[in-house]
Every structure is written in structure tokens, then in C-alpha cells.
Structure 1
Amino acid sequence: MKKFVLPLLACLLFLTQIARGQSFKPAQLREATVSSLHEAMQNGNLTAVQLVQMYLDRIDAYDKQGPYLNTIIMVNPKALAEANRLDSIYKVTGKMVGPLHGIPVIVKDNYDTYDMPTTNGTLAMKKSIPPDDAFVVKRIREAGAIIIAKSNLAEFASSGQFSVSSILPGYSRNPYDMKRTTAGSSGGTAAAVAADFGAIGLGTDTGSSIRGPASHQSLVGFRPTLGLISRDGIAPLAMTNDTGGPICRTVEDAVRVLEVIAGHDKADTVTRQSEGKIPAGYRQFLDKNGLKGARIGVFRQLCTPKNSDPQVYALFNKALDELRAAGAIVIDSVRVPELDTINKSFDTIPQLRRDFNLYLANLGPNAPHKSLTSIIKSKQFHPYLEKTLLDANADTLAPEAHKGWKKNLALRARLRQLLLRAMDSTQVDVLVYPSFSYPPRLIGDLNTPSGTNNNALSPPTGFPAFSVPMGFTYDGLPAGLQFFGRPYSEPVLIKLCYAYEQATHHRRPPESTPPLPKKKNKSVIALR
């Protein structure tokens, strides 16, 4: 019998080494996509529990230590339990519960989560646990996603320039240069996704706050057509502009998220407009040759030598050459002469008081505050926000009762008409321009130009705009190229953005958050 023991032990050792060699390593987590993670799960090399733990290890190593990115408000204490539940289902059925099965998601902390606080970045809401999930959060959970953490934001989602809140001390920091801003208000989500704290992210965009952080962190950010995605359960800033959307490392992953979260929701009446306008799936439009024959309109009004950093301007012109090389017909340029006049003519009409009070009312009897007035009296918010809150709360008129309301609606309609006319007359599929005409600013710098182009076209029209990586300045600071389209033209934008991404592959991960060393596994691998 002894003569069989050594060969058997050798065989077991050999199989164990093979099993260990095939296991998913921390280095593979860097820039991992939904498809690559699912492939590893299907091959038996990765479980959802292992995946969540590797991301938690990175958060522990880099968010409040090391480069101290300061992006996470709260790690989900139930993330590993949810991952274990999903692993059990997969083990028994051999099937994934949905298209985001086991995928850890970074969720901006203005999305309601029934099992964790939703703070909107303000200390006054630290203990606010909503009665149910936001519509979008419910959708991603049903698709199998795991919320791994809630991320920092500009408090009340009030700034497109930086991400600082009263919940966390200090600013969220850009992983490409810790002295630089992440932009706002979804800067915490973007920096966390860029640093591989989760596979994908959810942000919100009122004026800039998906595309700005995406640009500053070399990511993909989708601001969809207003009405494509429900805002129910998202803490509001201005419902005329507010929308949610994905922030991801690749176009394909952003498309996967969009497929899950798009759709009509009776709790958000604006989504009625999307009925009949959503295709069976968006991944069918991922075409690496999609730029061939496409007509791209250059919107140089938002990027001139006078109002741009020379390096970003050079990157933009290089991007136009890259579009041409990929087969696009570049129309240089398309203009809307009235743009500046229109954008300067809008009246400022606060919507926060009415919209936020309604949001608080929907939080139920256990909400820590019942009104914006109560939050102001608590003094539990960042000092930079005080005047904004006081001014918004002092305006007791309903937004629609302001004299400028109808004028603003007319200006919006006029801008939509002019943009469509300009695009139709030149027969272009999209307009392109830099998401920012300047690199990320130093944290605390509010004097030099921010260079944001994000609020000029998409928010006032409600038309979709996607930002994709355009490259890096000579000192390694990211820049983004924005594709602006007609309403509900997401299929066109996806095709063109994906083709540009695949032709250029500009994104690279930040050096500040390298792969962690593999933990030594002292447990014996069970061979079955």
C-alpha cells in the first residue's frame, strides 16, 4: 500500500499547484472588466467573495492610508455576505442571477440604499437610512451587483469643481496627482473607480458631475438623455437637470450598466418620454469599426487657443486626427453663434428647497430631518455650503412661480432648436469637444480657469453627452473627449465612443495605487 502513497501525494501536490496557479491574482484585478471577472468566475478561478475581499483590501490600503485618496464614506458591512449568497446561488444552479452578477459597485452617496445610510455628503444626514432603494440601485441589485461602498461627493452634489463634504475630513484626491482635484460632485466615485476600489461606479450629473470626474480620472462617463434613467431615490439638486449614470473604466462596462438602469419608472414622470425609445439592448452597438464613415462635428466654440490650456488644445487636435484615422469624416467646425448669449441669459432659479423637502418627506417618519430649514439649523454641513443653503431656503416661491421660469424654458427650447439645426444642416452624427479645456486644478484653487465645458450644452438641453479618455498632458494629467448627441441617440454615441476607445486605448491606471501583493493562502485547497 505504501508504494501508492508517495505517487498519490505527488499527484495531489501537483493538482494543488495547478489550482493555485489558476486562481485569480490581485494583479489581475487592475483594470478588470465585467466580462473578464465573469470569465474568471465561470472558469472556477474566482468567487464573488474573493473578488469583494480583494477590492476591500485595496480600499483599506489606499483610501485612508498610502496615497490617502479619501473617496469612501462607508464600506458596505454586508458586502461579503451578499457575495457569499451569490456564490451559493451560482454553485447550486450554475447560473448567474443577472448581467452584473457578483460585480462590486461604487455608489455615490446620494443614491438611496435601504440597508445603509444615504448622507448626500452632509453630516446632518449621517444616520438617514432610507425606507427603500433608489430605482437605479434596485435595478443593479436585481442584476446581481454588490454595493461595496458609498462614495464621497461634493456635499448636496453642489459643486462640479471639487468633492468635499462634512461627512469626511478633507477633499477627495485625484489618484493621478494627489495635489489635484477629482472634479465634482461625483469625484469620489470616479477616483475610487480609477483606483480599482470597485469594478464600476454610479454618479449623478446636474451640470458636470459625471463627465467632469470621468475626464479628470481618465474614465468613461455617460450623461444620458434626460428621461432615460429614473431619478427616484436620488437626493435632488435641480430636477430640471438632474440625472444619474455610469462612471466606468471602459465603454463596454458603462454600456452594461446603462442596459440595467435605463427604463420607465412611474415614480419619475420624465421617464415616460423614454417609452419606445430604448432598444432591446445597448451592447449590440459596440462596434470597433463604428467610426468608419461617421460624420463628426467639431464644436470649437468650447475649445479655442484663447480659452484652453495649450496641452489640452493639442490633445484635442490630436484626437481629431485619431478620429480621421479611424475612418471618420471630421467637419471642422460646427457653430451655434447664439450659444454664449443664451447661456448668459438664464435666470438663476433655486430648485433645491422644493425638491429637497419633497425628497425628505419620502424618507418616512424616521428621517433625521424633515426640512431644509432643519438641516440649516443643525449647522451640520460644510461651511462652504452655508450661503447656498441659506439663499435656496430663503426663496419660498415655487420655481415655476418665478418670473424667469418661462424665459428659461424658452431659452432651453431655443438652444435645443439651434443645436439640432446646426447638426442637421451639417449632417453630423455628433459634436465633439474637450470635457475640460484645462487639466485638473490644484485642490483649493478656485481662481485659475477650471475649463469645464460640461454645463454648456447637455444640461440645459437634456441631450446626452459621453466623456471618454483623450490622453494625458506631459505631466500625466488626464483629459477627456466629449461626444454630444441628439436626444435618445445613445446607440450612436455608444458606437462612436467605443470605436474611438478601441482605436486609441488612451486610458492607463494611476501609479499611486499599484496591485497589492498576493496574500499567502495557508489553507489547504480541497480537491473534489
Structure 2
Amino acid sequence: MTEDPSRRDVLTSTISLAAAAALPSLGPVNSAMAQPMPSSATKIIAAIRSKKMTATSAVKAAIERAEQLKDLNAFIFINKDGALAAAAEIDEGRSGPFAGPLAGLPIVIKDNINTADMPTSGGTPALQNAQPARNAPSMDKLFKAGAVIIGKTNLHELAFGITSTNLSSFAGPVKNPYDKTRIPGGSSGGTAAAIAAGIVTCGLGSDTGGSTRIPAALTGTVGLRPSVGNGGAQRRYNDPDMVVPISHTRDTVGPMGRTVADVALLDSVITGTPMVTAEPLRGKRLGIPAAFWAGLDHDVEVVTKAARAKLADAGVVLVDVDMPGLFEQNAKVSFPVALHEPIADIPAYLKASQINGITLADIAEKIASPDVKGAFGAIMADAFGAAYQDAITVQRPALQKIYETYFRDNNLDAILFPTTVAPAPEIDPVKGSGEMSINGGAPVPTFDTMIRNTDPGSNAGIPGLSLFAGMTPGGLPVGLEIDGPVGSDVKLLGLGLSIEAILGTAPPPKM
């Protein structure tokens, strides 16, 4: 397939606008610690295009910083030789002048997304050296656009969790750059940590129940869960059988970045659509469902309500209408789907990826993280098999109907809520995901607590965008999410651009 020249022109024009922005010093890195990447992907691309820096220097700086910050455990595999070779090709023009709209941009990829030139481990021992036969389609789009993959990022083992406390011997717990005793969120915690630490400006994660948005919230970054709907034309990203799966109904690849513009840029390249523009906020109607705002950690409540007030001052219409029965309906869908579909989906992935000699039973037997081991006990016993058909044919449509009715009857552009009910909890190095406390209360399960607000939209297949809301007094980031109807991804990104302009971006962690 040949590249659409008009498509390149749209992105090139967008990137050129960023060239006018002031660029930090982009010369060779001489300090003991490699400096963070410039503040956005567009600035890096503009600097490479204008020859203020080379692709090789950008990639080399990213790799050096990744190696210097290896104690974060953000990476499973650093693609040093491959990335430098790709950058050299771009600099030498062997791939054509400015090979694509991302030419020379260093990015990272979650290590459950297939790459034909790098292993895809899923963060689990049985797949540690697994080599897929081909790339995931989203990866092909990024490669063709000239992105340079500096490495595969760490994750909660097999993406079955929200802490990224991976207890596999070759992975280890991912640490939050803002406080290394705390989780970065998951399951795309490695991608989030690499972005927050200034190793790269953007990359890919995946999202089943909050896995791009939860880590974005806990690391002060941005994460998009694209529309999935009922599959087919409603699915924004199409990566069938090319991502280590949990659920074909719920899984999707999703872009993550330091800014909304970074996320929008990757989304534009992957979908082949024009770069989004900011949506005016005045008069936009955002639903405020009380259930999502209940039971919050005090600091999260203060930060997100302050952010909400700023949006109201900007002319946003906040519609205080609840969604009764939503969480109860979601419970009838969530586990019956996520703990049954892997029985067929994982073998289908292994076959499609031409990963031979490894079975579902092999994977389950070698799991290292106790929390994931427990989940796979339920999967292998098919504990939710009897509930699955009802969950898919009756309960999921009923959940989708709650959302459709809520958006329609209240004439809403989106829903607004805290991405997580608490800031990043401490790492549990024993169980991987144990218990936490909200406001000094009784211990509650970390997984159930942190996924509460992101899971329902995931099961309904609607898009969601988490962005920075502010910092707690203790220096931890807090996230704010907007969800919209199926297919409203472009509008969400446009709203996100405007919201970010008001709320700002996270200060860099003190590394």
C-alpha cells in the first residue's frame, strides 16, 4: 500500500506548527544523567525535520536515559541496536526524505503487543522468548510512519492486573517515577513510567478494564482507550490476534503520552485520520454521575473537584445526574467475560502468531505473580463458563443501554469523573496486588478499588481519555477521565486538548 500524500501533508502541517515553539537544548548529552526528552512528540519531530537534532541523537538520548533509570523496571527489552540502526537509516535518507510523519521519534511499546523483530513476552515466563511471526497492525502503522521503537515495556503479568507489580524474575515490579515505593498503575505501567520519567514522550499500551487510563492517572500522563463497541466497524483499532489477549470483547491497544497532543498524534497515524483540533468547552455538557464521585480518597476528591470547578468557570455545563445501578450491572459482565474468553483467545493468539510448542496450560503453570496465578485458576477451571452467554447476550447489552440512555436523555457530550478513587498505593512485593486503605479505613482489595471507575466503560466498549488533573500535597499525580459514546474518540481528544489547556500538565518527577 502506498502512502497517501495528502495524509502526510495534514500531519506535516500540524508538526510544522510546533516547530515555532521554543525548543530546549537538544545537543549531545554530556551530563551523568541523560536529560529527559523535549516536552512533546511534535517538538522532537519538528527538531529532526529542521535539523536541530538528528534521529540518532534523539534515539540515543532515550536509550541512555532508559538504561540510567533501569531501577524503574519500566522495560523488559531495550532495542538498542535495532533502534539505532533505524535512526541511522532515517538520518542517512535511505528510507526517503522524512520517511513518515513520525520519522525519528523514539517511542515504546507494551510487551504484549506483537513485534516481528523483538520478542513479545506478555511479562510471563512461558512467553519470555516468544517471537511472533508478524507485527500487530497498529505497530505496522507506526513503523511505516517512521517511529523508532527503543524497547518493549514491562506490564502486570499477562496484563491481568492494575499494579504492574510483575513478580516474574526477568521483569520485576514497575516503579512510579514520582515515588518509587508506589505502583505506576497497570497493566500498562511500564509505558506510563517510561513517559513520566522523560525517557520518551509517547508509546502504546493496551486496555481491557483501565490499563491505559489507570497508569496514566497515577503517573501524570495521558491515556486513551479507543472505541471497541461491538467490534467490526465500531472498533477503532484493529489488532486481531496480534496482542497477548485477555478478552476479544474488551481488549484494545491504546496510545499513551505526556500530553493529549502526543496521544492524538499516535491515534491519527494508527487510524489514518486527520489530526484533531481543540473542541471549544463553552456550552459543552459533561455528566457528573454521583456514584463515580463517591468514596474518594480525600486528596483525590480535593484535586478533582478543583479541576471540575475550573472547567465550570470555562463555560462547561456540569450535569449532576447519576447512573443508578451501573456498577451492579457492570459486575454481571466483567469477570464472566474476562475470565472465560482467555480459554479460547490465548490459544487463538498463539496459533495466529505462530508461537509453537506453548499451550494455555504451559502459560498457566509457569505464572510467577500470585494474583495472576489466582485469576488463572478460575480461568482453567472455567469458573464463569456457565455465566458467559448470559453476560454477552443479555447483561452487556443492558450495560450498553444504560450508557446510551444516559448520554441521550441528558444531551451529554461526555461523562467526567476521577479516573481512580485514590492516588498510587504502595507496591505489594508479595502478592502483586493485595489490599489498600482509603482515608484510613478498613483494608479493601486494591484491584477492585482502583478499577472501579474505569471498568464499566470498558465493558460497554465506549472510549475513555484520562488526563492530568493535579497533584496531591504529597506529590502524587491525580487523573481525570472523560468517557463518550461509541465512536466519539475524536471529540474526546478535542475536549482533552481544551481541558489540558486549562488544567495544565504534570510537573516532571524529581529523578
Decide: shared fold, TM above 0.5.
yes
- Give 1:184 deviation, angstroms: 1.1
- Residue 129 (structure 2) pairs with residue 127 (structure 1): yes
| Cα distance in 1 for residues equivalent to 2:138 and 2:489 | 18
- Give 1:345 deviation, angstroms: 3.0
Q: 1:249 aligns with which of 249, 258, 263?
A: 258
Number of the residue aligned with 1:49: 56
Matches within 5 A, 1:265-414: 280-281=273-274, 283-287=275-279, 290-304=280-294, 307-331=295-319, 333-346=320-333, 348-349=336-337, 350-364=340-354, 367=355, 369-377=357-365, 379=366, 381-395=368-382, 402-414=386-398
- Give 1:423 deviation, angstroms: 2.0
| Equivalent pair of 1:152/1:172 in contact (CA under 8 Å) | yes
Structure 1 gap segments, 5+ residues each: 1-20, 264-279, 513-528
- Give 1:471 deviation, angstroms: 0.5
Matches within 5 A, 1:21-60: 24=27, 26=29, 29-60=36-67
| Cα distance in 2 for residues equivalent to 1:380 and 1:485 | 36
Secondary structure of 1:480 counterpart = strand
Percent identity over the alignment?
30
Structure 2 gap segments, 5+ residues each: 1-23, 229-234, 437-443
- Residue 83 (structure 2) pairs with residue 84 (structure 1): no
- Residue 434 (structure 2) pairs with residue 446 (structure 1): yes
Which amino acid counterpart does residue 493 of structure 2 have in structure 1?
A: I
Secondary structure of 1:107 counterpart = strand
Number of the residue aligned with 1:276: none
| Equivalent pair of 1:163/1:186 in contact (CA under 8 Å) | no
Which amino acid counterpart does residue 373 of structure 2 have in structure 1?
A: E
Which amino acid counterpart does residue 75 of structure 2 have in structure 1?
A: I
Q: 1:434 aligns with which of 418, 421, 432?
A: 418
Number of the residue aligned with 2:74: 71
CA RMSD, aligned part only? 2.2
Q: 1:396 to 1:469 in 2, by over 3 A?
A: closer
1:191-223 CA-to-partner distances (Å, cap 9, x unmatched) read 011112223110001111000000000011000
| Equivalent pair of 2:78/2:152 in contact (CA under 8 Å) | yes
Q: 1:230 aligns with which of 205, 229, 238?
A: 238
| Equivalent pair of 1:125/1:369 in contact (CA under 8 Å) | no
Which amino acid counterpart does residue 239 of structure 2 have in structure 1?
A: R
Matches within 5 A, 1:476-495: 476-495=475-494
| Cα distance in 2 for residues equivalent to 1:28 and 1:74 | 21
Which amino acid counterpart does residue 80 of structure 1 have in structure 2?
A: L
| Equivalent pair of 2:126/2:362 in contact (CA under 8 Å) | no
1:461-490 CA-to-partner distances (Å, cap 9, x unmatched) read 100010000001000111100001011001
| Cα distance in 1 for residues equivalent to 2:211 and 2:276 | 27
| Equivalent pair of 2:154/2:164 in contact (CA under 8 Å) | no
Q: Which has the larger radius of gyration?
A: 1
| Cα distance in 2 for residues equivalent to 1:169 and 1:222 | 25
Q: 1:178 to 1:96 in 2, by over 3 A?
A: same
1:399-454 CA-to-partner distances (Å, cap 9, x unmatched) read 6xx45413443222122222222222221211100001111100016222544334
Number of the residue aligned with 1:515: none
Which amino acid counterpart does residue 360 of structure 2 have in structure 1?
A: L
- Give 1:393 deviation, angstroms: 2.4
Which amino acid counterpart does residue 83 of structure 1 have in structure 2?
A: A
| Equivalent pair of 2:165/2:427 in contact (CA under 8 Å) | no
Which amino acid counterpart does residue 87 of structure 1 have in structure 2?
A: D
Q: 1:22 to 1:440 in 2, by over 3 A?
A: closer
Report the TM-score, using the length of structure 2 for normalisation: 0.85
| Cα distance in 1 for residues equivalent to 2:377 and 2:86 | 41
Number of the residue aligned with 2:219: 217
| Cα distance in 1 for residues equivalent to 2:456 and 2:374 | 27
| Equivalent pair of 1:127/1:368 in contact (CA under 8 Å) | no
| Equivalent pair of 1:468/1:480 in contact (CA under 8 Å) | yes
Secondary structure of 2:172 counterpart = coil
| Equivalent pair of 1:31/1:249 in contact (CA under 8 Å) | no
Q: 1:470 to 1:369 in 2, by over 3 A?
A: farther
Report the TM-score, using the length of structure 1 for normalisation: 0.82
The number of aligned residues is 458
Q: 2:407 aligns with which of 399, 423, 432?
A: 423
- Give 1:292 deviation, angstroms: 1.8
| Cα distance in 1 for residues equivalent to 2:163 and 2:69 | 23
Which amino acid counterpart does residue 243 of structure 2 have in structure 1?
A: I
1:270-312 CA-to-partner distances (Å, cap 9, x unmatched) read xxxxxxxxxx41x24234xx212211111221112xx111111
| Equivalent pair of 1:302/1:433 in contact (CA under 8 Å) | yes
Matches within 5 A, 1:464-503: 464-503=463-502
Q: 1:308 to 1:396 in 2, by over 3 A?
A: closer
